[in-house]
């Protein structure tokens, strides 16, 4: 009884996790009930006889969760049945010419050679990814037809009936799968990447809050809950095989929604790979957050502002990417945050150069600088991710909401105050985004707390106008290219940039 209740609970959980699973179960039931009518409906049965069972079998085996998987299997099965049927008949004909004694021996040899060769080909990585099922069916059909043909005379008729029932079963699957609450693997992959971006963004935005929070602040349960919430990023660590499977399925899918037939699914995998690389750094960062060896808050505070901005601006840029991916629009709003985070990097490095940490105890220094270093890595990876998302947007021809003409000018105007306030405004003509960006504060910085002083900053003007005509050009990347110039990145940034790029 307890067991049954547990199963029901598990069932509810599984259904709640993705309600489409329940719908899928009903769809399979429907398809099977439909196809089994072949047996009840006299004219059909008269036509196909026992072969109607191939339709049932096809439905059971071919009907998968997503349209792509179903289509892939269906097409694999149909083509493999056709080809193997033809070859099987050929083999049977060839064998029958040789007389009744040699015939079974010849057939056995054919079956052996065909099975061995096909099985070996299944090990080819590219074949395995897309045509594994087709080759399985090829072996099956060839063996059945060439061998059973030894007994049955009407072999052509058999092959014909088998093929038509397989196609009927397959077509029912595909139709039901496409027209009754379809589950698109492509859409799933798209959402998965967007949600992964979101997850990492969440971590980066929350991380600093946790890092600069006094460790012994009352409610332990609350802290535990927040930390657990932070660790949602762990799902990204091992998402590779899932993503690859989805991408493989997605390739079979026809145009749906805003996804074309040849949507650049491979580019999603490229973004995902960078995201995973970023997650490795985040995993290391998280281990420092949880360390019992905490650095005194007053030492952390020295770098607080820069670290806060690096982390939260990277987080924001990932968030913007996630949003623009979800909306399927090209957008440069993420770039501004990338820029900001890079500027914060720059500020940090000048701060460090100024010797702000000279009086810190070595062991605390190690822990602190490792956090810094990992965050710099993450900032640079964020830029890579942003570039990759732009490439995806171009390749997938996302709508072009804003087309910045990327007239980045390095002015020499000096402004007071450290905080860079990106002034964003969407959906209107001719924006000018002004980014206040610290540079070369090494000598002016306040040694004691790194608080405000007069910084030399640069105005970065980004002229944006809504011109949808030229949307194939990779405009946003240009801002990028200049962003480094405008921020005058330090050795740290430069070197880590190169380091990251070469590690891809």
From the list 83, 87, 328, 357, which residue makes contact with its own copies (rule: CB under 8 A)?
Answer: 357
DSSP 3-state assignment of 415? coil
Backbone φ and ψ for 399, nearest 5 degrees, come out as: -65, 150
CB 99 → its own copies: shortest distance, Å? 14
CB 394 → its own copies: shortest distance, Å? 27
Of 424 and 499, nearer to its own copies (C-beta) is: 499
- Going by C-alpha positions, the residue among 479, 353, 461 that lies closest to residue 411 is 461
From the list 8, 9, 29, 425, which residue makes contact with its own copies (rule: CB under 8 A)?
Answer: 29
The residue range among 11-19, 171-179, 311-319, 432-440 that interacts with its own copies, by the rule CB under 8 A, is 11-19
Give the pair of three-digit tokens for residue 231: 């660790």
Of 50 and 129, nearer to its own copies (C-beta) is: 50
Of 292 and 430, nearer to its own copies (C-beta) is: 292
238: contact with its own copies by CB under 8 A: yes
Give the pair of three-digit tokens for residue 90: 């050929």
| Rounded-to-integer distance, Cα 131 and Cα 491, Å | 49
Contact criterion met (CB below 8 Å) for 309 and 453: no
Give the pair of three-digit tokens for residue 356: 């702000």
CB 38 → its own copies: shortest distance, Å? 9
CA angle 11/17/19 to nearest 5° reads 80
| Rounded-to-integer distance, Cα 210 and Cα 225, Å | 12
CB 104 → its own copies: shortest distance, Å? 4
Of 271 and 393, nearer to its own copies (C-beta) is: 271
Sign of CA dihedral 340, 343, 348, 351: negative
CB 398 → its own copies: shortest distance, Å? 29
Beta bridge partners of 433: 462
Total of residues contacting its own copies (CB under 8 A): 97
CB 53 → its own copies: shortest distance, Å? 5
From the list 8, 14, 102, 180, which residue makes contact with its own copies (rule: CB under 8 A)?
Answer: 14
**Tally of CB atoms within 10 A around 36:** 15
Beta bridge partners of 461: 434
CB 21 → its own copies: shortest distance, Å? 5
The H or E element that residue 272 is part of is helix 265-290
Q: Using the 8-state DSSP alphabet, how is residue 472 labeled?
A: S
| Rounded-to-integer distance, Cα 209 and Cα 134, Å | 53
33: contact with its own copies by CB under 8 A: yes
From the list 9, 19, 50, 413, which residue makes contact with its own copies (rule: CB under 8 A)?
Answer: 50
Q: Measure Cα distances from 148 to 2, 84, 159, 458 in Å.
A: 50, 14, 11, 81
Residues 119-158 that bind its own copies (CB under 8 A): 119-121, 123-125, 136, 139-140, 143-144, 147-148, 150-151
36: contact with its own copies by CB under 8 A: yes
Contact criterion met (CB below 8 Å) for 486 and 408: yes
| Rounded-to-integer distance, Cα 169 and Cα 33, Å | 11
From the list 258, 370, 405, 456, which residue makes contact with its own copies (rule: CB under 8 A)?
Answer: 370
From the list 101, 241, 443, 448, which residue makes contact with its own copies (rule: CB under 8 A)?
Answer: 241
Give the pair of three-digit tokens for residue 488: 């005058």
| Rounded-to-integer distance, Cα 434 and Cα 161, Å | 71
- Going by C-alpha positions, the residue among 312, 311, 248, 243 that lies closest to residue 271 is 243
CB 283 → its own copies: shortest distance, Å? 5
15: contact with its own copies by CB under 8 A: yes
Residues 98-117 that bind its own copies (CB under 8 A): 104, 107-109, 111-117
Of 239 and 329, nearer to its own copies (C-beta) is: 239
The residue range among 7-15, 252-260, 422-430, 463-471 that interacts with its own copies, by the rule CB under 8 A, is 7-15
CB 191 → its own copies: shortest distance, Å? 18
Residues 52-71 that bind its own copies (CB under 8 A): 53, 56-57, 60-61
Query: Hey, what's the torsion of the CAs at 420, 300, 491, 416, to 10 degrees?
Result: 30
Residues 399-428 that bind its own copies (CB under 8 A): none
Of 113 and 175, nearer to its own copies (C-beta) is: 113
Contact criterion met (CB below 8 Å) for 259 and 253: yes
Give the pair of three-digit tokens for residue 46: 């008269």
From the list 8, 9, 11, 262, which residue makes contact with its own copies (rule: CB under 8 A)?
Answer: 11
Backbone φ and ψ for 251, nearest 5 degrees, come out as: -60, -25
Residues 159-218 that bind its own copies (CB under 8 A): none
The residue range among 27-35, 69-77, 86-94, 327-335 that interacts with its own copies, by the rule CB under 8 A, is 27-35
Contact criterion met (CB below 8 Å) for 145 and 158: yes
User: In the stretch 282-321, what mask flags binding to its own copies with x, by CB under 8 A?
Assistant: -xx-xxx-xxxx----------------------------
From the list 19, 257, 296, 355, which residue makes contact with its own copies (rule: CB under 8 A)?
Answer: 355
Of 244 and 467, nearer to its own copies (C-beta) is: 244
DSSP 3-state assignment of 304? helix
């Amino acid at each position: 009884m307890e067991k049954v209740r547990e199963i029901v609970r598990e069932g509810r959980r599984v259904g709640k996790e993705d309600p489409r699973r329940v719908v899928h179960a009903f769809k399979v039931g429907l398809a099977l009930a439909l196809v089994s009518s072949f047996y009840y409906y006299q004219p059909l049965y008269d036509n196909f006889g026992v072969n109607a069972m191939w339709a049932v079998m096809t439905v059971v085996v071919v009907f998968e969760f997503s349209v792509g998987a179903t289509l892939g299997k269906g097409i694999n099965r149909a083509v493999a049945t056709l080809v193997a049927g033809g070859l099987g008949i050929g083999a049977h004909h060839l064998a029958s010419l040789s007389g009744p004694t040699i015939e079974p021996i010849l057939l056995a040899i054919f079956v052996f050679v065909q099975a061995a060769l096909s099985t070996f080909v299944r090990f080819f990585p590219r074949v395995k990814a897309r045509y594994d099922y087709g080759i399985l069916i090829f072996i099956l059909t060839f063996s059945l037809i060439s061998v059973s043909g030894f007994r049955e005379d009407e072999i052509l008729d058999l092959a014909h009936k088998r093929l038509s029932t397989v196609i009927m079963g397959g077509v029912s699957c595909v139709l039901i799968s496409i027209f009754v609450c379809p589950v698109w693997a492509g859409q799933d992959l798209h959402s998965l990447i967007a949600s992964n971006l979101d997850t990492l963004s969440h971590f980066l935005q929350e991380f600093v809050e946790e890092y600069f929070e006094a460790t012994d602040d009352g409610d332990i349960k609350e802290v535990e809950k927040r930390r657990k919430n932070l660790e949602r990023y762990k799902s990204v660590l091992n998402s590779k095989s899932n993503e690859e499977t989805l991408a493989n399925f997605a390739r079979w899918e026809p145009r749906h929604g805003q996804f074309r037939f040849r949507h650049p699914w491979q580019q999603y995998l490229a973004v995902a790979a960078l995201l995973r690389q970023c997650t490795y750094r985040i995993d290391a960062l998280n281990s420092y957050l949880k360390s019992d060896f905490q650095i005194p808050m007053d030492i952390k505070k020295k770098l607080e502002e820069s670290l806060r901005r690096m982390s939260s601006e990277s987080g924001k840029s990932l968030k913007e990417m996630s949003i623009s991916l979800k909306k399927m629009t090209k957008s440069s709003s993420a770039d501004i945050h990338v820029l900001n985070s890079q500027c914060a990097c720059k500020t940090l490095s000048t701060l460090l150069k100024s010797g702000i940490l000279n009086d810190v105890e070595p062991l605390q220094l190690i822990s602190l600088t490792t956090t810094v270093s990992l965050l710099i890595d993450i900032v640079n990876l964020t830029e890579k991710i942003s570039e990759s998302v732009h490439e995806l947007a171009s390749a997938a021809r996302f709508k072009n909401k804003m087309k910045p003409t990327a007239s980045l000018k390095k002015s020499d105007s000096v402004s007071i105050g450290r905080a860079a306030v990106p002034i964003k405004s969407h959906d209107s003509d001719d924006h000018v985004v002004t980014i206040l960006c610290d540079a070369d504060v090494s000598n002016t910085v306040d040694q004691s707390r790194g608080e405000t002083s007069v910084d030399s900053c640069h105005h970065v003007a980004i002229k944006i106008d809504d011109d949808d005509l030229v949307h194939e050009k990779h405009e946003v990347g240009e801002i990028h290219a200049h962003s480094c110039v405008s921020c005058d990145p330090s050795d740290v940034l430069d070197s880590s940039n190169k380091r990251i790029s070469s590690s891809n």
